[in-house]
A and B are shown apart, each in its own frame.
Chain A
Amino acid sequence: MLSYALRRLLAIIPVMVVVALVVFSLLYFSPGDPALVLAGETATPEEIARIREALGLDRPYLVRLTEWSLGILHGDFGDSIFFGRSVAELMAQRAMPTLWLSLLAMIFALVLALPLGIIAAWQVGRAPDRLAMGFAVVGYSLPVFVLGYLLIFAFSVWLGWLPVQGYKPPSDGLWPFLSHLILPALTLGVVYAALIARITRSAMLDVLRQDYMRTARAKGLGLWPMLLRHALKNAAIPIMTIVGIGFGSVISGVVVTETVFNIPGIGRLTVDAILRRDYPVIQGVVLVLSGVYVLINLVVDLSYGLFDPRIKY
């Protein structure tokens, strides 16, 4: 198990090297002079020269690539052009709201999707199945920002139950913290839930057709113990896999959700960086979030053994 985990961890390195190369080379190989694009139309030659120097555009590709990579290995992602502060520091500052938001979205998605998928599989072809899968395809198709505004309109503007926008850290008290996160987490969680519900249904269908399920029922096992302990556990691997892969949609969704709800997290940092063409920040965010995505999928792979003791590493 340990050696397998180590091998998988090593296998991440080439993937991250490619990610880093892509992120870095975009700046180098993009048509035109990035410094001109970054500086904007009204920039003076001095400003352009400053940006060119800040990005090291005046030096050879390999030298810059080496320096940049060495910096990242030391946790140095360069400095933000706009803030003049280190990108790593900026990201650390904005990490918590994003972490809370995605965690809550994930919990919400699982709590919603698992029962939906299980019931859909149990009632396959009947009304509950059609309803659940209808929800899934709608949830999968609703753009995150449209859903966000619908929810704000219903719960904040119309009913007045929840705050419209903003973020409060947990230190401000549990309810202010939660009340600001409920709608964003719901918004972000729906797409994820739709993905998970679909896979849960098809994985459960595969298991429910097995002989041992009939045996379990025949020996008098109750419906729910059968569905949960026998079926769900055997369906866990495809479900875990989509939880990992689908996390990509959460990361993409965070960028949009934080804009809709005005949450000062990594996503908001990214959007602001785009508007200001603050390229070092964009590079850093893309690299770190891709790393998080790859790591989460590694953890998912490693967790297979927990659900299925037949899997040996």
Chain B
Amino acid sequence: MASPSVSADPDALTLGQVLRHPTIFIGVAIMAVMIIGALLAPWLGTVDPQSLSPLRRLKPPSAEAWFGGDMVGRDVFSRTLYGGRVSLMVGLSVATISIFLGLIVGLLAGFVGWVDGIVMRVMDGLMAIPSILLAVALIALTGASVGNVILAITVSEVPRVSRLVRSTVLSLKERPFVEAAIVVGTPFHALLTRHILPNTMGPLLVQGSYIFASAVLTEAALSFIGAGTPPEIPSWGNMISEGRLVFQIAPHMVFFPGVALALTVLAVNMIGDGLRDVLDPNYRAR
């Protein structure tokens, strides 16, 4: 279980090495397209995603409207690009915040005995609630907004991260190099930054990409069932939800946001799988 860690490590991976892994490369390439599409949406031949045009109503894809029009005549191409902003922002925010909070909770639980007992019971309870349901319960009360969606999904992801960090810390504490560091009187902050954190980063990075993917999926599912991003903001889940009513006559309304969503999640999962391969020599040996 030698995870590449400290910079002095001769096995340390360079970015180039990581990108050469085919799965990661494809994943990063798809993500790059998605990020560019979302960030540069105003300059990529789009119109105002909210502007209505009766001529576009339910029109199939054409040279004027590449992805067709929706049932009130908005441009599906523009909405798909702008919708990516919500998905990517939710994915990134949830992954960052839940890794950060999970790291704190996990470290506390791993190092402080009495915290472990209490906090982990609470985390077990939170983990027993299927994530969409927990998010649904939260949002039904706080009202639909992108911020609340991020909050709700984060609440259900934090327990998983803290579990991972806790178990990594507990197993690291038994390892000779950590025991040795403690014996020679390494101050706690040095122990943490030099030995514990670097060895937690690998698994966390992998977990972070899976969280990103699952947050994007959950946001879309929440928006789809009407408990997510408010309807005035275009998001892939919203678009699919609107499209479902006219699915049989205008399948493009579901198809394009659906493909964008599936590709994004696929790309992030591929990056996660690839990182897991690269970071775990045991896995690669198989």
Question: Which A positions have Cβ atoms within 8 angstroms of B?
Answer: 14-19, 21-23, 26-27, 30-32, 34, 37, 124, 137-138, 140-146, 149-150, 152-153, 157, 164, 205, 248-249, 251-252, 255-256, 259-260, 270-271, 273-275, 277, 279, 282-283, 285-286, 289-290, 293-294
Evaluate contact between A270 and B141: CB separation under 8 angstroms: no
**A30-B125 in contact given A141-B213, A143-B262 (Cβ < 8 Å):** no
Evaluate contact between A15 and B128: CB separation under 8 angstroms: yes
Evaluate contact between A141 and B262: CB separation under 8 angstroms: yes
How many residues in B have their beta carbons less than 8 Å from beta carbons of A? 44
Evaluate contact between A143 and B141: CB separation under 8 angstroms: no
Cα-based distance from A142 to B125 in the complex (angstroms): 28
Evaluate contact between A17 and B125: CB separation under 8 angstroms: yes
Interchain CB contact (< 8 A) of B129 among A142, A149, A290: A290
Chain A positions within 8 Å of B217 at CB level: 141, 143
**A145-B138 in contact given A14-B121, A19-B128, A157-B248 (Cβ < 8 Å):** no
- A-B contact list, 29 entries, CB within 8 Å: A14-B124, A14-B125, A15-B121, A16-B128, A18-B126, A19-B128, A22-B129, A23-B129, A34-B141, A137-B269, A140-B269, A141-B266, A142-B262, A145-B221, A149-B251, A157-B248, A205-B286, A249-B130, A251-B133, A252-B131, A270-B133, A271-B225, A273-B140, A274-B136, A274-B139, A282-B136, A285-B133, A289-B130, A293-B128
**A145-B133 in contact given A37-B141, A274-B140 (Cβ < 8 Å):** no
Say if the beta carbon of B53 comes within 8 Å of chain A.
no
Which of chain B's residues has its CB closest to A273's CB? B140
Chain A positions within 8 Å of B128 at CB level: 15-16, 18-19, 290, 293-294
Evaluate contact between A23 and B251: CB separation under 8 angstroms: no
Interchain CB contact (< 8 A) of B258 among A14, A143, A275: A143
Evaluate contact between A255 and B225: CB separation under 8 angstroms: yes
**A255-B136 in contact given A26-B141, A146-B261, A286-B129 (Cβ < 8 Å):** yes
Chain B positions within 8 Å of A260 at CB level: 244
Evaluate contact between A18 and B141: CB separation under 8 angstroms: no
Cα-based distance from A76 to B265 in the complex (angstroms): 40
Cα-based distance from A18 to B127 in the complex (angstroms): 10
Evaluate contact between A146 and B244: CB separation under 8 angstroms: no
Evaluate contact between A23 and B248: CB separation under 8 angstroms: no
Q: 3 closest A-B pairs (Cβ-Cβ)?
A: A18-B125, A146-B258, A141-B266
Chain B positions within 8 Å of A153 at CB level: 247, 251
Say if the beta carbon of B165 comes within 8 Å of chain A.
no
Q: How many A-B residue pairs have CB under 8 A?
A: 145
Interchain CB contact (< 8 A) of A274 among B129, B226, B286: B226
Say if the beta carbon of B86 comes within 8 Å of chain A.
no
Q: Is the interface of B mostly helix, strand, loop or mixed?
A: helix
Interchain CB contact (< 8 A) of B140 among A251, A277, A294: A277
List B194-252 residues whose CB lies under 8 Å from chain A. Answer: 213, 217, 220-221, 224-227, 240, 244, 247-248, 251
Which of chain A's residues has its CB closest to B248's CB? A157
Cα-based distance from A252 to B214 in the complex (angstroms): 12
Say if the beta carbon of B18 comes within 8 Å of chain A.
no
Cα-based distance from A140 to B272 in the complex (angstroms): 12
Chain A positions within 8 Å of B132 at CB level: 252, 255-256
Which of chain A's residues has its CB closest to B268's CB? A141
Evaluate contact between A149 and B254: CB separation under 8 angstroms: yes
Cα-based distance from A274 to B132 in the complex (angstroms): 12
Cα-based distance from A260 to B240 in the complex (angstroms): 10
Say if the beta carbon of B116 comes within 8 Å of chain A.
no
Interchain CB contact (< 8 A) of B136 among A124, A270, A294: A270
Chain B positions within 8 Å of A251 at CB level: 130, 133
Chain B positions within 8 Å of A248 at CB level: 130-131
Evaluate contact between A286 and B142: CB separation under 8 angstroms: no
Say if the beta carbon of B270 comes within 8 Å of chain A.
yes
